[in-house]
Amino acid sequence: MAGNSFGQSFRITTAGESHGPGNVVIIDGVPPGIPLLEKDFLFDLSRRRPGQSKITTQRKEADTPEILSGVFEGKTTGTSLSILIRNQDQRSKDYEDIKDKYRPGHADFTFDAKYGFRDYRGGGRASARETVVRVAAGVVAKKILARAGVVVVGYVKQIGPLVATIPHPEKITLSEVESNIVRCPDVEMAPQMIALIDEVRKNVDSIGGVAEIVTKGIPAGWGEPVFDKLKADLAKGLFSLPAVMGVEYGEGFNVATLRGSENNDYFISKRGKITTQTNRHGGMLGGISSGLPLVLRCAIKPTSSLARPQPTVTRKGKKTTIQTKGRHDPCLLPRFIPMGEAMVAITLADHYLRYQSCRI
C-alpha cells in the first residue's frame, strides 16, 4: 500500500494496525550525535496514551518504545532509526459483530471500495492507533528543532461551542497546557470544557473542537516556493491525521471578510531585523516562513464510534443498525494535541534540514 511515508530530508515510514502486534516507524535523515534514549519518548507518548483521564478512551496501553536501530551508546548514528511500540490491550472480539457492517464516519466502506478486503478490528490501518509511532517520530523531530531554538506547543482552543480566550498564542507554555486534563490553557474555560465532554460521554455521544498549534523561534526562510510550500506540507501532514476536517493558519477563513488594507501585515524594522507589525499571515508568506510564530488550527470532528444504535448497511447493501462496542474517546481533542504537535515538528524538521542543505 502506497502512502506510508512522509517527508524528504527527514522522512518517516510507518507500519502497523490497531489490533496487530504493534506499530513501527523508520526515520531516515536523523543527524548523528543527537542524545536519544527510550525514556525520552515517554512524556509525549503518555500525553497521547489512552486511559489517561475520565474524558479519554479507557483502553490501557503502556506505549513503551523499543529502539531497534539507529542509536549507539545513547546517541543517534545517522543511519535509519527504527522504533517499535507494541499493542497490549486489544479487544478484537468487540468488533466481531460489525465485521460485515459499515460504521458511519469510518473508512470501512472506502477500504472495501479500494481493496475489496479490510481489517475490521478497530479500523486496522485507518485507526488512530497508528499515530503512536508518529508521536515517537515527533520526539526525534523536536530534538532536531531544539538545536535551532524552535519549540512547538499545541493546546485545545475550542470544544463544541466553548472557545478559549488566548490573546497571545506565542506565549503559551507547555506547563500551562498540561495544567488540566483537557489541555486548554484558559483556566476559566477548561473546567467548562471538561464538564461538557463528561456530559456528552454520559449521553453516549461525542463532540468535536479545534486545536491550535504554535511554533516559536522559527527563522525566516524555511519552505519551498511552489508545490512544497511550508503551509502545503504542514496541511498535508495535519490532514493525514485521523479526524482532521480542516486546517487554517493566521487569520484563516476570517480573511474572506477582510479588505486587503485590513489583512496586510506591514513591514517594519525592529532591533535591526525586518519583521511585521502584526501576524495575520500566521508566520508564512509565499509558503516560506517569515520569522514570526507559526500559528495553525485544526478542526477535529466528533468521534465516529458511538455505543448507541445508528442506521447503516451491510457489505451487501442490506439495511441494518450498528452499535459500536469497545472503548472510544468522547472527545478526541485532548489526545490529539501531541499528535498535531508531532506532525508539525516532523514537517518543520524536514524543512529545517532542507534549508540547511540549500544554504551550503
Could you say which DSSP state residue 247 is in? E
Give the residue extent of every domain in the chain: 5-358
For residue 271, what are the contacts with CB-CB under 8 A and spacing of at least 6?
none
2-6, 53-57, 210-214, 224-228, range with the lowest pLDDT: 53-57
Which whole number is the average pLDDT over 41-48? 96
What pLDDT is attached to residue 106?
Answer: 87
Which whole number is the average pLDDT over 228-246? 97
Residue 221 has pLDDT above 90, yes or no: yes
Superfamily of 5-358 according to CATH: Chorismate synthase AroC (3.60.150.10)
What pLDDT is attached to residue 57?
Answer: 66
Could you say which DSSP state residue 283 is in? T
Give dist(CA 222, CA 199) in Å, integer. Answer: 43
Residue 301 has pLDDT above 80, yes or no: yes
Residue 16 gets the label, from left (phi > 0), alpha (psi -120 to 50) or beta, of: left
pLDDT digits 0-9 by tens, 341-353 = 999 999 999 999 9
**DSSP state string for 171-221:** G--HHHHTTSTT--S-TTTHHHHHHHHHHHHHTT--B-EEEEEEEESPPBT
